[in-house]
Amino acid sequence: MVVGMNSVRVAFTALSLWAFGADLARAQFYQDPAVLADRLEQVEEELRTLKAQMRNGQTGEAAAGAPEAAPIPASPVRLDDLEQSLRRLTGQVEELSFQVRRMQEQYETAQRDTQYRLGALEGGAPSALPGAAAPVGSAPAEAAPSMVLRPGVPAAKGGAPGPGVLGTLPAEASVAGTVGTPDEKYQAALNTLSKQQYPEAQDAFRAFVAAYPQHERASHSQFFAADIDFVLKNYANAAQGFATLLKTYPKAPRAPEAMLKLGLSLAQAGDKANGCVTLAALRQKYPEANAQLFNRAAQARKQFACK
């Protein structure tokens, strides 16, 4: 059967959409999420148009100036091919939509990390990324914290909250009791952390984990709560917090870093044997982790004279 020009046009449109979807899949690695979202809308609009044409039993409008003629029925085989193409394109759109959401989450996380760093810098000392391991080349007592304490606010001992800062509200009133969605409460805890209100932030993160243990931010909250103890040199409490994260969220994004800091915390707390074992097991437990974590673990093993 001879297929009319309009059928060829539909086939070309389907092929173009397929190429466009492939281009989107490549672009998602370097495009801004907003740009990807706009392009996805274009793809979805083309899909809706193509579906409408198929439902109407036609393959396009007649060319301008051409005499009107009855629509040429499309071949059943051609329709089957187009339907399969539509299904593939729909799946690609759904996958790309998921990837856009992931990129948006990564973008938001990067923004929070930047706010975290800026808050530490405003405290008057250089800082590392949130949750970054302290340098292991120096003596244990001189491990550089990744957060800066407010002047005059001593580190809390034994896990007890340290004295608050004048003019601030306790975490129960300012963060943990905040009315809003889980994401809003998590952001409130991060904002408290960026203001260097560490006891309050730690309470807020712990409250978040207790209230929303299955939330996607729960593992991050558990990490931050343990990391606050780590940088305050409450190593026993830090070890317990990191161990809880690894037990509850073993596949969390920051699980490899938590295992590194668990080993450091154990060694700093006086349990060098278990600390060394934990550091040595990092590569086997998380072989796909960042190489920088493996380098830090190796340096720590030298520092603590692990066998």
What is the percent of the chain where pLDDT is above 90?
40
Non-local CB neighbours of 275 within 8 Å, separated by 6+ positions: 263, 264, 265, 266, 267, 268, 269, 304, 306
Is residue 282 over pLDDT 80?
yes
More confidently predicted of 166 and 180 = 180
Does the pTM exceed 0.85?
no
DSSP string, the chain: -PPPHHHHHHHHHHHHHHHHHHHHHHHTTTS-HHHHHHHHHHHHHHHHHHHHHHHTT---PPPTTSPP-PPPPPPHHHHHHHHHHHHHHHHHHHHHHHHHHHHHHHHHHHHHHHHHHHHHHHTTS---STTPPPPSSS-GGGPPPSS-PPTT-PPPSTT---PPPTT---HIIIIIT--S-HHHHHHHHHHHHHTT-HHHHHHHHHHHHHH-TTSTTHHHHHHHHHHHHHHTT-HHHHHHHHHHHHHH-TTSTTHHHHHHHHHHHHHHTT-HHHHHHHHHHHHHH-TTS-HHHHHHHHHHHHHTT--
| Listed residue (249, 247, 207, 211) closest to 225, CA to CA | 207
Q: Which of 2-11, 45-54, 109-118 is predicted least confidently?
A: 2-11
Is residue 27 over pLDDT 80?
no
- The one-letter amino acid code at 183 reads D
**Boundaries of every domain in the chain:** 5-60+74-118, 138-303
Using CA atoms, how far apart are residues 192 and 219, in angstroms rounded to an integer? Answer: 18
Non-local CB neighbours of 202 within 8 Å, separated by 6+ positions: 161, 171, 224, 225, 228, 229
Q: Which two tokens stand for residue 256?
A: 């490899």
- The one-letter amino acid code at 121 reads L
CATH number of 138-303: 1.25.40.10
Using CA atoms, how far apart are residues 222 and 241, in angstroms rounded to an integer? Answer: 7
Using CA atoms, how far apart are residues 292 and 174, in angstroms rounded to an integer? Answer: 37
More confidently predicted of 164 and 238 = 238
Report CA-CA distances (Å) from 39 to 21, 22, 94, 258.
Answer: 9, 12, 13, 38
Q: Compute φ and ψ for 199, nearest 5 degrees.
A: -60, -40
Using CA atoms, how far apart are residues 240 and 262, in angstroms rounded to an integer? Answer: 8
What is the rounded average pLDDT of the residues 156-167? 39
Provide the residue count of the chain: 307
Over residues 77-107, the pLDDT tens digits come to: 666 666 666 666 666 666 666 666 666 666 6
Over residues 237-252, the pLDDT tens digits come to: 999 999 999 999 999 9
Computed over every residue of the chain, the mean pLDDT equals 70
Using CA atoms, how far apart are residues 200 and 163, in angstroms rounded to an integer? Answer: 10
